Chain A
Amino acid sequence: MEILAAVLISVIGAATPLLFAAVGELVVEKSGVLNLGVEGMMVLGAVGAFAVTLTTGSATLGILAGAAAGAAMALVFALLTLTLLANQVASGLALTIFGIGASALLGRSFVGMPVTRLPQLDLPGLGDLAIIGPLLFGHDVLVYLSILSIPLTIWFLERSRAGLVLRAIGESHQAAHALGHPVILVRYLALLFGGAMAGLGGAYLSLAYTPMWAENMTAGRGWIALALVVFATWRPGRLLSGAYLFGGITVAQLHVQGFGFAIPSQFLSMLPYVATIAVLVAISADGTRARLNAPASLGRIFHPEA
C-alpha cells in the first residue's frame, strides 16, 4: 500500500505541469485562437521561476515570475496574431523556438544550482494520516491550484457571462463582433491567461518536480498539453483524467526501468510520445464528437473590416 501511495504521489507530480498548461490552452482555444507556443511559454516560465526563487529566496515571487514570463511570451504572440494578423501556426512555432533559445541564454548561470523544493502545505494532523494523509494532504500549493483550476474553468466557461462571450467569440468572431463584443480584447486576455498558466506549469517543473534548472527541461510537455486539449475534446472536466493518465504513463515508464525489466530505457522513454499519438488518433477518428466541441473559428484570423 505504501508503494502504491508513493506511485500515486509521483503521478500527481508528473500530471501537474501538464494540467496547468492544458487548462490555459483550452481557454485560449475556446476563444478561437490556436497558440502552439505552449512549450516555449512553459520553458521560459520554468527558468523565470527558478531564477527569481534562487536570487530572492522567495518561492512565491518565483511562482509569480514564472506566470509573468509565460504571460509576457503570450503577449508577443497576441501582438503578432491579433494586432498584426500573422499566421497563428507559424507564430506559435516561433514562440517555441525563441522560448527554448532565450531560456537557455537566461538560465546558463543557474545550471546545476540547487533550490529548495516547494514546501508541502502543512495541514495540522491531516498529513500524518496513514496513506491517504500524504496522498491527499501532502502536496505543495501548486498541485492544489492546478486541480482547483478545473472547477473554476468549468464555472467560468459554462456559468459566467464573460465565459459565454468568450465561447461565442470562439464560435464565430464575425457574429460576436457584430453583436458588439470586443473580440480582440477578449482574445488578448485569454492568451495572457493561457501564457500565465503555461508559465505556472513551467514553474512547477523547476521548483517542485525536479527542483533545478536544465536546458530544455520541459522535454515536449507543452506539446503533450496541446494534445491533451484535443483528448479532452475541449471540455475542461476531461483534462483532469487526461493529465493524470499521462502522468501515470510517465511514472510507469520510470518504475518499469527501476524494476529492472530487460527493455532498453529508450523504448520506455518513447511511451508518453507514442501514447500521445495513440490518444490523438482514438479521439480524432470519431470526427463528429470532436467537432461538436471544437471552437468553429479556431485558428482563423480576425480583421473587423475584412
Chain B
Amino acid sequence: MRPRLEARIGASRTMVYATPVLAVALTMACGSVLFAALGHHPPAVLYAFFIQPLSSVYDLAELTVKATPLVLCAIGLSFGFRANVWNIGAEGQLTLGAIAGGGIALWAGDDAAAWVLPAMIVAGLLGGAAWAAIPAFLKTRFNANEILTSLMLTYVAILLLSYLVHGPWKDPDGFSFPQSRMFADSVLLPLLTMGTRLHLGAPITLFLALGAWWVMARMFIGFQIKVVGLTPAAAGLAGFSVNRLIWITLLTGGALAGLAGLFEVAGPIGQLQPSISPGYGFTAIIVAFLGRLHPVGILLSGLFIALSYLGGETVQIELGLPLAVSGVFQGMLLFFLLAADVLVRYRIRWRRAAMVQEAG
C-alpha cells in the first residue's frame, strides 16, 4: 500500500476550513515535543502560551492591540497574493507610514490642532503607498522581481528610521536616547476603554476588513484580481491589464501597512523609536495565508497570531524561554498549513502498488 495524490475536480470546501484547524493542532503537538526537548513541562508551557494571555479584560485588549497591525498588513498583502503579486516588504511600508505620520506629529508640536491626527492618518496611508509604489514601478517598467525589491526596501526603510531618530528627529531632552519627542496627547489615537491600550485603530481595522470583503466579493476589481491569480491566460484574453492590477494591489497593500505603522506610533508607542514593530509586516504573511487570503479569515487568524506574540512574552516572563519561541511557532504553523493545503486540491488514495501499475 502506498499513498498517492489524486487531483480533485474543484477545491474542497470542507478542507478549506478544516486545514487551518488541522495546522494549529499539529503545531501545538510539535510545539509540545519541542518544549519537552527543552526540558519544560508541555502542558504548563501551552497553558502559559495560549490560555494565560486571555485571562483578563486588559489581556483581551492587548490581544486586539497586537492583532490590529497584523490584520491591516495581512489584508493588504492578501489582495496582492491573490493576484500573484508577492509584496513581502510590508514591514518597510509600515515603517514609512510611521515616519510620514510621525513626522507630522513632531512638526505640529505640543499644541496641535484637531486636524493634525486626520492629517497623520492620511500621511501614514500615503507614506506606505509611496514606499510600495517603488516595487510597483520597477516591476511594471523594468520587470524587476517585486519579492526582492520590496524586501530590500524594508532594510532601507528601517535604516532611514534609525537615521531620523538618531539624528534630526532625536529628542533634545531625551538624555541622548535614540528616540523622538513624545507626541502631544491631542494627536494620539483616542482610547476606547480606560485602563487599557485599546485604541480607535481597532474598530477602523474591523471596518476596513469588512470593506475588503466587499471589494473582493462584490466589485469588478476583486473579480479581476481573482482571475489574474487563478488563470493569468484567461485574464489576458479578457483584456484585464496585469500592470494595472500590480499597481493597485501594491499601492493598497502599502497604504494599509503604512496605516498600521501610523496606528502603532500614534497608539501604543506614542513616539518614533528605532524599532516600532516586532516584525508585524513579515508575520502578516502568515496571517494572510492562515486566514485563507479572505478578510474574515484574516480577522480570526490575526487574533490567533497576536496570541502567539502575547504567549511568547508570557513564557519569556514565566518560564524564561526566549522570545524567539514565537517565531518558531509561527514558522511551524505556516509549514503545517502549507502541508495540509494539499488536501484542499488533492485527495489521498491508498492503493496497492500492483494496482497502480495496472492502472498506469
Interface residues of A (CB under 8 A from B): 36, 76, 79-80, 84-87, 89-91, 93-95, 97-102, 104-105, 108, 215, 220, 223, 226-227, 230, 264, 266-267, 269-270, 273-274, 276-277, 280-281, 284-285, 287, 303, 305-306
Verify if B50 is at the interface (C-beta below 8 Å from A): no
Which residues of chain A have C-beta atoms less than 8 A from B4's C-beta?
A: 305
Is B152's CB under 8 angstroms from A223's CB? yes
A111 to nearest B CB, angstroms? 10
Q: How far is the CB of A284 from chain B (nearest CB, A)?
A: 4
- Other 9 A-B pairs with CB < 8 A, given A97-B331, A104-B324, A280-B138: A91-B335, A97-B283, A104-B322, A220-B151, A264-B167, A270-B156, A273-B152, A284-B145, A305-B5
**How many residues on the B side are at the interface (Cβ–Cβ under 8 A)?**
49
List of B residues within 8 angstroms of A108 by Cβ: 322, 324
Q: Are A85 and B342 in contact (CB under 8 A)?
A: yes
Contact A94 B331 (CB under 8 A): yes
Given A87-B338, A284-B145, A303-B5, A274 and B328 touching (CB < 8 A)? Answer: no
Subset of 18 A-B contacts with CB under 8 Å: A36-B147, A84-B341, A87-B338, A91-B338, A93-B88, A93-B334, A94-B335, A97-B327, A97-B331, A98-B328, A101-B329, A104-B324, A264-B167, A280-B148, A285-B143, A287-B143, A303-B346, A306-B7
By secondary structure, the B interface counts as helix
| Per-position 1/0 for B122-143, Cβ under 8 A of A | 0000000000000000100011
Report yes or no: B148 in contact with A276, Cβ–Cβ below 8 A: yes
A106 — nearest CB in chain B belongs to which residue? B324
B160 within 8 A of A: yes
| Chain B min CB distance to A152 (Å) | 27
- Mask, B267-290, CB within 8 Å of A = 1, is 000000000000000110110010
Tell me the complex Cα distance, A299–B160, Å. 33
Q: With A and B bound together, what is the CA distance between A306 and B162 in angstroms?
A: 50
Query: Is B186 part of the binding interface, using a Cβ–Cβ cutoff of 8 Å?
Result: no
CA A166 to CA B345, docked complex, whole Å? 28
B164 CB to closest chain A CB, in angstroms?
Answer: 9
* Chain A residues positioned under 8 Å from B334 (CB to CB): 90, 93-94, 97-98
> How long is the Cα–Cα vector from A117 to B163 in the complex, in angstroms?
33
Residue of A nearest to B149 (CB): A277
- CB-based nearest A residue for B322: A108
Identify the closest chain B residue to A267 (Cβ). B163
